């Protein structure tokens, strides 16, 4: 079994590493459980989303990069290697309104949507 990365995966790693080196904050942030920390983390999620890194495996039309499973794992590996900020709940940032029958609008991963936190909308 060959466990080496393909040239495409290595190129993806270089792209991830380059972006993270240029964008990861140098100083630690307050906890995401504080108002200041949560605000900073939401801004970070927006920065990731704007660059297509928030949900790398999703289709481009939804804010992703259409990354393969291995590329997603490469992203995760590089993200933690870089000491990037802790991620906030990605699955909870997509509620557009209180109508459960309405399809969500895209892009789904944009952190400007309402976010479920500690059992209430914020």
Buried b (16+ CB within 10 A) or exposed e, 3-38: eeeeeebeebbebbbebbeeeeeeeebeebeeeebb
Mean per-residue pLDDT over the chain, rounded: 82
* Spatial separation of the C-alpha atoms in residues 48 and 6, rounded to whole Å: 25
Instruction: Answer yes or no: is 121 within a domain.
Output: no
94 band by pLDDT with thresholds 50, 70 and 90: very low
Terminal Cα-to-Cα distance of the chain (whole angstroms)? 48
Instruction: Answer yes or no: is 55 within a domain.
Output: yes
Instruction: Answer yes or no: is 103 within a domain.
Output: no
Instruction: Answer yes or no: is 52 within a domain.
Output: yes
Check which CATH number belongs to the domain holding 18 and give it.
Answer: 1.10.540.10
Query: Would you mind telling me the total number of residues written for the chain in this entry?
Result: 122
When mean pLDDT is compared across 20-29, 76-85, 98-107, the lowest value belongs to: 98-107
Would the pTM of this model clear 0.75, i.e. be above it? no
Provide the residue range defining the domain that includes 78: 7-87
Q: Is the pLDDT of residue 92 over 60?
A: no
- CA 26 to the chain's CA centroid: 18
For the chain, how many structural domains are there in total?
Answer: 1
């Amino acid at each position: 079994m060959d466990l080496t990365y393909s040239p495409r995966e290595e190129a993806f790693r270089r792209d991830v590493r380059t972006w993270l080196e240029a964008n990861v904050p140098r100083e630690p942030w307050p906890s995401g459980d504080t108002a200041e920390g949560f605000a900073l983390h939401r801004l970070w999620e927006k920065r990731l989303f704007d660059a297509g890194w928030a949900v790398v495996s999703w289709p481009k039309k939804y804010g992703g990069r259409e990354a393969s499973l291995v590329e997603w794992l490469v992203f995760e590996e590089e993200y933690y290697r870089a000491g990037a900020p802790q991620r906030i709940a990605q699955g909870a940032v997509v509620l557009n309104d209180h109508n459960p029958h309405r399809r969500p609008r895209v892009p789904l991963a944009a952190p400007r949507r309402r976010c479920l936190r500690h059992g209430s909308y914020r």
